[in-house]
Each structure stands twice: as C-alpha cells, then as structure tokens.
Chain A
Amino acid sequence: MVEFFQWLEATGGSVAIRESILLYPIIESTHVLTLCLFFGFIALMDLRLVGIALRGVPVSQITSRIQPFGVAGFVIMVISGALLFYSSPMRAYGNIFFRVKLVLIALAGINALLFHKTIFKSVDDWNDALQPPPRARLAGLLSLVFWSGVVICGRMQAYKWFD
C-alpha cells in the first residue's frame, strides 16, 4: 500500500494541488466549511434523538427533511477530503490521527446503519415523543461522540505529534 501511495503522491494532480497557492486553501476551506452543513445537521438530528434539541418536532420530519442536506454535506466532505488526501497521501498514511479518524468514520457508519435497521423501523411509535426510546437516544449520543471525534482527529491531523 505504501508503494501505491508513493506513486499517487508523485502523480501530476497530487503535485499540482500540493504546490498550488490557491487550490489547496480552497479545497481545505471547502472541507472545513462543510462542517456547518454536515456536522451541524447531523449534530442537531442527534440532539433531537437524545431528546434535548428541537423537542416537539417529529423525528421522521427531521430525518426526511434535514438528513438529505446532511448527506449532501457528507458527499462534499468526502470529495474534498479525498482531494486533500490525494495531495499528500504519505503524510496522511503515517499520521495516527488520520488512522483513528478513519476508524471513527467506520464506527459512525455502523452506528447509523444499525439505527436505521433496528429502532428507526418503529419510529411511528415514538415520532412525537419528547424523549425517544433508550436505544434511539444511545444511537444519537454515539453518533455525536463518533462525529465529534472525527472533527477533532481531522483538526489534529495537521499536527504531526506522533509521526
């Protein structure tokens, strides 16, 4: 895998982003600003599941009307993130925060999948509840923890503390 990343780092596109005065900052700030869309919307949905924000707004309304914007944010996040990775794969590869970040994204994904496959199926029973059932609250809390961890690791990636 190291050889592949070294090859990737030597490709023209990678060098171009890395050495560009404008391209890198633009991709980087797009990545960071999408936090407002992706993390912000996800966090509010999670806080509703936990039962402390947007109380009184039916959960299914939030998932059907807000989640699409969160997903759009996620797509921009992944594309801009992939470009950032492409610009210096070797630096990311050896970075402990980057590795933890990938694990946390996977955990957040599994958590979301489990939520939709299990407790969310009965959402009609607790749609208007100010406090959703414990399993839904736990899913919301875990999502908040995992995604916050992703944001923190993403920021810390810039610091090469344990490289």
Chain B
Amino acid sequence: MDLLPYFQSFEATFIGTKVRESLWMFPVIECVHLLALGLLGGAAFVLDLRLLGIGLRDQAPPDLERKLHPWLRASIAMLILTGVPMFLSEAIKCYYSPPFWYKIGGLILAIIFTFTVRRRVAARTADKAPVIALASIALWMGVAFAGRWIAFY
C-alpha cells in the first residue's frame, strides 16, 4: 500500500499550508510541544520511579496514579494537538524520515501501554512493578528520541 498520496494531501491541507508558510507558527507550536514533553516526563516518571521503588516511596502507587493521571492525559493531549499541525506542515518530509515512523509506532505502543497495562497495574500494586516502570520509561524516551531525530534524518 502506497501511503505517499495521503501524505501529499496532508501537506496540502489548510492547516499544513498555514503552518508551513508562516514564519512564526512552527517555532511557537514547537515550544508548546517541548513544554508538554517536559510535563509528560514529569507526570509519567514520578509514578515510574515509585514503581521502581524509589522516588515517592511513602505514597501508595494507586494514589499516585490517580493524582498524576490528569497531568499525564493533559500533556499527551497537548503533545498530539501541537504535533499534528507540525506533521501536516511537513508531511512529505516525514514520509521519507525513518525516525518519524519509529516515533509513530512507539507512540501508539506507549499510549496503549500507558492507558491499559500500566494504569491497571499501578491501580492495584501495593509496592513495586519495576518491569512496568522500565517499559514505560523506555517507550516514552524512545518516542521523544525518535521525535527529535525527525529533524536530523
């Protein structure tokens, strides 16, 4: 299946064109994307550290999960909301960029994992769940790393 025509039409969308032709829109969206990335890191890793048995050890994982989940959800929403217009503005470049495909694959995995396995485990675990924590850290760092490398390859 050849996806290139779809990516060409993504790039031709109104938003894609607007962002590409504007001098300031891409940088501004990118800044918000980065701030949201930082927040995602905080919201995800504070719970992951707890699941590793370090960090906020005096808090029960289910409590911490409940408190951090809204921040995690909000930062992911903000990342997608800012990521989509950046993608639309350079969809064809993304099509030819290997890091882009790794990023999308990793992102889908990370979201499914976070909202199903990790969430359920954290809601029931009394103490540690190191494998879940390490998987979460590796997935999100992988997605962020691949995202940064879209600019290089």
Contacts and interface: CB of A to CB of B under 8 A. Distances in A.
A28 B147 CA distance: 12
Interface stretch (A62-70, A85-93, A107-115, A131-139): A62-70
B90 interface: no
A44 interface: yes
Interface stretch (B6-14, B50-58, B104-112, B115-123): B50-58
Contacts of A32: 34, 144, 148
Nearest to A44: B42
Contact of B37 (A36, A54, A55): A36
Interface in A12-68: 25, 28-29, 32-33, 35-44, 47, 53-57, 61-62, 65-66
Contacts of A56: 63, 67
A152 B141 contact: no
Interface residues of B, number: 34
B42 A148 contact: no
B69 to A, nearest CB: 11
B106 to A, nearest CB: 13
Interface string B78-110: 000000000000000000000000000000000
A155 interface: yes
A148 B49 CA distance: 24
A7 interface: no
Nearest to A153: B31
A40 B144 CA distance: 13
A76 interface: no
B148 to A, nearest CB: 4
Interface string B45-71: 110010000111111000110011001
B57 A65 contact: yes
24 contacts: A25-B149, A29-B149, A33-B141, A35-B37, A36-B40, A36-B45, A40-B42, A40-B45, A41-B41, A41-B42, A41-B45, A41-B46, A43-B39, A44-B42, A44-B43, A53-B67, A54-B46, A54-B67, A56-B63, A57-B67, A65-B57, A66-B49, A151-B38, A156-B27
Interface of B: 27, 30-31, 34-35, 37-46, 49, 54-59, 63-64, 67-68, 71, 140-141, 144-145, 148-149, 152
Interface of A: 25, 28-29, 32-33, 35-44, 47, 53-57, 61-62, 65-66, 69, 148, 151-152, 155-156, 159
Given A66-B56, A69-B49, 16 more contacts: A28-B148, A29-B145, A33-B145, A35-B34, A35-B38, A36-B38, A36-B44, A39-B41, A44-B39, A44-B42, A53-B67, A57-B64, A61-B59, A151-B34, A156-B27, A159-B27
